[in-house]
Amino acid sequence: MNSKFEHLQAVLSHHESALAREDAAGVASAYDPSAILIVNGETFVGRDAIQSFYERLMKQLPKASWATDRACFAEDMAYVEWSCRAERSRVPQGVDSFVVGPSGIERQTAWFSVISIG
């Protein structure tokens, strides 16, 4: 296993564990300071904007149970299909792509829809 791949795995593991803890600042710390995140056509630049996005997402999906349904990795890139379920909302399918550099996630795109549960 090469060090670039190991670094990618470590960064994404940090991202996932902070997400599971509902720690928006912890999630944002996995990103490069000048990272760009594009979610459902909306762009967030830098850790502060990314942290704000995750704070809002965590309010929509409190105490969610997250699952990685499929993941593919190549060098500094990752493709992840995921889902999650909270008490009153869920995401049946989400898709993310990541590019990870020396100081964390540099670029990410994501697509998903939060659905309310009756």
Quick one: what percent of the chain has pLDDT higher than 90?
A: 94
- The overall average pLDDT reported for the chain is 95
Is 0.75 topped by the overall pTM? yes
pLDDT digits (tens, 9 = 90+) for 5-59: 899 999 999 999 999 999 999 999 999 999 999 999 999 999 999 999 999 999 9
Tell me: pLDDT of 88 over 60.
yes
CA–CA separation, 118 and 105 (whole Å): 35
* 29 token code pair: 């710390």
Tell me: pLDDT of 2 over 80.
no
CA–CA separation, 11 and 5 (whole Å): 10
DSSP 13-47: HHHHHHHHTT-HHHHHTTEEEEEEEEETTEEEESH
pLDDT of residue 3: 86
Average pLDDT over residues 60-66: 95
Backbone angles phi, psi at 102, to 5 degrees: -60, -30
Cα four-point dihedral sign 31, 72, 81, 87: negative
Tell me: pLDDT of 1 over 90.
no
pLDDT digits (tens, 9 = 90+) for 106-115: 999 999 999 9
